[in-house]
Amino acid sequence: MKTAVYRKSHFNAAHRLHNPDWDEVTNKLVFGKCNNPNFHGHNYELIVKVTGEIDAETGYVIDLSVLKKIVDNHIIHKLDHKNLNLEVPEFGILNPTAENIAKVIWHILRPQINHTLDLTIILYETERNYVEYPA
Amino acid sequence: MKTAVYRKSHFNAAHRLHNPDWDEVTNKLVFGKCNNPNFHGHNYELIVKVTGEIDAETGYVIDLSVLKKIVDNHIIHKLDHKNLNLEVPEFGILNPTAENIAKVIWHILRPQINHTLDLTIILYETERNYVEYPA
Amino acid sequence: MKTAVYRKSHFNAAHRLHNPDWDEVTNKLVFGKCNNPNFHGHNYELIVKVTGEIDAETGYVIDLSVLKKIVDNHIIHKLDHKNLNLEVPEFGILNPTAENIAKVIWHILRPQINHTLDLTIILYETERNYVEYPA
Amino acid sequence: MKTAVYRKSHFNAAHRLHNPDWDEVTNKLVFGKCNNPNFHGHNYELIVKVTGEIDAETGYVIDLSVLKKIVDNHIIHKLDHKNLNLEVPEFGILNPTAENIAKVIWHILRPQINHTLDLTIILYETERNYVEYPA
Amino acid sequence: MKTAVYRKSHFNAAHRLHNPDWDEVTNKLVFGKCNNPNFHGHNYELIVKVTGEIDAETGYVIDLSVLKKIVDNHIIHKLDHKNLNLEVPEFGILNPTAENIAKVIWHILRPQINHTLDLTIILYETERNYVEYPA
Amino acid sequence: MKTAVYRKSHFNAAHRLHNPDWDEVTNKLVFGKCNNPNFHGHNYELIVKVTGEIDAETGYVIDLSVLKKIVDNHIIHKLDHKNLNLEVPEFGILNPTAENIAKVIWHILRPQINHTLDLTIILYETERNYVEYPA
């Protein structure tokens, strides 16, 4: 049987929900306040879940201090105190919804984690709204 | 791969655990303090989880403001500040345990959510006791 | 300089906000959903704060296991899984608002705590509404 | 003795810390990542504390549903999903630090609350950083 | 469809991460501060998840007061306010990582829970690091 | 009017409550499980509160990144993953109760903070037990 380990991090960012293929009226209708062209922002809580066998020598699935460094270097450094739409290339076209942010994080982290381990991203946009990828 | 989105709501209600087919002694033995005929109550935290594909145009699995309206109209309006045993017909006979409340909520919400999306209900009765349906 | 110690407990109870000197229309107008005659309920989080000098021998302001017993015996046993309006004599006439519940708890606990120590009651009715007595 | 009641709300906003009287190097040195010209953002948790006597007829210090409406109309409507620097006139010149946001909120709410009641603002910028005004 | 019920408990313990087959340098390199020979400690939050059918008569998957007694008697009594390395035989050789503690708890509880019910252990070592077994 | 800013940190440590002037029976009687000679441990949450005037140029009472460095260098580095009784000289004789730990932290930090600013320490030993110094 496998074991999952979870590591929680956080970052703060500004964003705007917007589909460049739509006109302003449609964007406003679909995304409401989240379409504000001047941006708004969130404290994102990021939980990285790694699933695999417990190593017999260390008692770890993955060393959480190693996982923390991977997350800090590849995700927090890239997203913290940033404007997602303007400063993070992945969201040049892709709409930075919580769903898409989680998916982008997964694709960045996947090559950094041993392929024998499963990876899941849980992302809280607010205390009451959060997403999980893959589910 | 699919993505799950979660939306947290809350409601306050009174209830009493009781099986009308049993005598008072058995009810008291099985349900203890929760069998108090004058009722007690809880702040229920409700998490509605919806799982599916991310829509390419919106970046959403489901628009959370739409989901919020569905949950408010069909669940919160029906259960908030109510006595579950006396005022919610589904619990006329069915015992309002957390398990059964979660199941009732699932059956009310299921027809309101697109059938291509999976639905799961997580319900906190207290900070230390909670349930998930289906699991 | 003094030190404060805090001990958190919880209890679940049903209640109804109601002023027996008013007619039903006024009660409904003032207390809204909280006036439901069939009761609703809450998970109350109770924080008892005791302030005084640190005892040189124990390093304690008050032994928290002693404080826990006092709170359990005098408050939790009396209020947990109860209907405040019907089963707690203090609320026979007094409206069981969070403010009044905190005040009642203070008056019950005050004689149980050494008079050289100050006592404050903090009571959460929900995660978003809470009160403090005295303030 | 007086009683305090607390009401928690939240809003999401973008901001940038910046002193227009300083050059860019000084701004960057003092405010670091928070000086990002493209803005970043937060989920602000706002706690409004009102202190006074318990009304003998209602059992309330202040009706929390009334307080909620005041906070929603005067603060949440004004700040939620906004860019504080660009869209909230109070921060045209004033730097939107948590300290200054709390102070601005206090000055807006003070005339809306009966002068016999004391008012305090507690504002969480993140789970780990928060402020209180006045203290 | 099945239902899951969750019950949260907690215990405080001291521990040290250490592999007796390795020399001190390797232990220090792999486990860092957690290898401190004088021990450090945690407030562990334990969530026991039990999955099965809802009983038609009680409305319960498992009576949570029964589950609480099982967890208190077999786990909390054994681990609370203990030094895991020195006082809990299971960790005489086995390294008390969160992963291994969760696995040990699962093996102790499994025979105590009806075999028709599934069992999962979730263990928080800190607010930001936690594990799940099996996953 | 003054403003308070709060910064939350955490550290994990082992400790034992014990008065060397008492015999074992008295120690066991007074401190119970907390007297375990093999130590137990906690995740301590530390909140440092600094109160003063808002600086007109920065909008800060104190720069929280500066405060974080002071707390990290003088407190977290000294206490995190340590055995308080064996490795922290201040507790060579002084019993490491939450009250005394908070007082020790205050005396270490007081000279590091500008004397025009007030300092208060809030320390959570568990989620349900915490202390404040001075109060």
Task: Please list, in sequence order, all residues whose beta carbon lies within 8 angstroms of the beta carbon of residue E82, skipping any fewer than 6 positions away.
Answer: E13, E14, E88, F36, F38, F40
* Distance separating alpha carbons of residues E120 and A3, to the nearest angstrom: 10
Nearest to D76 by CA among D5, D13, D6: D13
Distances (CA, A) of A117 to A102, C113, E57, F129: 18, 55, 42, 38
The verdict on whether D10 is a catalytic residue reads no
The count of other CB atoms within 10 Å of the CB of residue A89 is 8
Mean pLDDT within F3-24 = 97
* Distance separating alpha carbons of residues B13 and B79, to the nearest angstrom: 7
What are B16-55's pLDDT values in tens digits? 999 999 999 999 999 999 999 999 999 999 999 999 999 9
Helix%, strand%, coil% for chain D, nearest 5 = 35, 30, 35
Residue C47's beta-bridge partner residues? C8, C122
- Interface size, chain C vs chain D, as Cβ–Cβ contacts under 8 Å: 59
Binary contact (F2, D135; C-beta < 8 A): yes
Residues of A in contact with E135 (CB under 8 A): 1-4, 51
Minimal Cβ distance to E14: which of F39, F87, F127: F39
- The subunits that touch chain C, with at least 3 C-beta pairs less than 8 Å apart, are B, D, F
Mean pLDDT of chain A: 97
Residues of A in contact with D13 (CB under 8 A): 40-41
Is there a contact between D39 and A12 (Cβ–Cβ < 8 Å)? no
Helices (H), chain D: 24-31, 64-71, 77-79, 84-87, 98-109
Considering the candidates F34, F74, F99, F132, report the single residue annotated as catalytic: F34
The verdict on whether D34 is a catalytic residue reads yes
pLDDT for the residue B22: 96
pLDDT tier for residue C27 given thresholds of 50, 70 and 90: very high
- Angle at CA E64, nearest 5°, toward E62 and E70? 90
* Distance separating alpha carbons of residues E58 and A10, to the nearest angstrom: 42
Cα-based torsion angle of the residue sequence E110, E111, E115, E118 in order, rounded to the nearest 10 degrees: -10
B8–chain A Cβ distance below 8 A for any pair: yes
Mean pLDDT of chain F: 97
Range of the domain at A111: 2-133
What are E15-32's pLDDT values in tens digits? 999 999 999 999 999 999
Q: Can you list the residues of chain B whose pLDDT is less than 50?
A: none
A66–chain E Cβ distance below 8 A for any pair: no
What are F36-54's pLDDT values in tens digits? 999 999 999 999 999 999 9
The count of other CB atoms within 10 Å of the CB of residue B47 is 18
Is there a contact between A15 and D41 (Cβ–Cβ < 8 Å)? yes
pLDDT tier for residue D43 given thresholds of 50, 70 and 90: very high
pLDDT tier for residue A123 given thresholds of 50, 70 and 90: very high
pLDDT for the residue B54: 98
Nearest to E125 by CA among E71, E66, E45, E48: E45
* Residues of E tagged active-site: 34, 81, 125
Q: What is the ipTM of this complex?
A: 0.95
Mean pLDDT within D76-100 = 97
**Gyration radius from chain D CA atoms:** 17
- The subunits that touch chain E, with at least 3 C-beta pairs less than 8 Å apart, are A, B, F
Burial grade of C29 (CB within 10 A; 0-12, 13-18, 19 or more)? exposed
pLDDT for the residue A109: 98
Q: Which residue of A has its CA nearest to D87?
A: A38
C17–chain D Cβ distance below 8 A for any pair: yes
pLDDT for the residue F125: 97
Mean pLDDT within E56-60 = 97
pLDDT for the residue A120: 98
- The subunits that touch chain B, with at least 3 C-beta pairs less than 8 Å apart, are A, C, E
Instruction: Give backbone dihedrals phi and psi of F83, rounded to 5 degrees, phi first.
Output: -95, 110
Task: Please list, in sequence order, all residues whose beta carbon lies within 8 angstroms of the beta carbon of residue B70, skipping any fewer than 6 positions away.
Answer: B109, B112, B113
The verdict on whether A34 is a catalytic residue reads yes
Number of structural domains in chain A: 1
pLDDT for the residue D81: 97
Mean pLDDT of chain C: 97
- Interface size, chain C vs chain F, as Cβ–Cβ contacts under 8 Å: 59
Mean pLDDT within E49-68 = 97
Residues of F in contact with D119 (CB under 8 A): none
What are C99-117's pLDDT values in tens digits? 999 999 999 999 999 999 9
pLDDT for the residue F71: 98
- Going by their DSSP bridges, the two strands C82-83 and C3-15 should be labelled as parallel
Minimal Cβ distance to B60: which of A22, A97, A133: A97
What are A41-65's pLDDT values in tens digits? 999 999 999 999 999 999 999 999 9
CATH of the domain at A62: 3.30.479.10
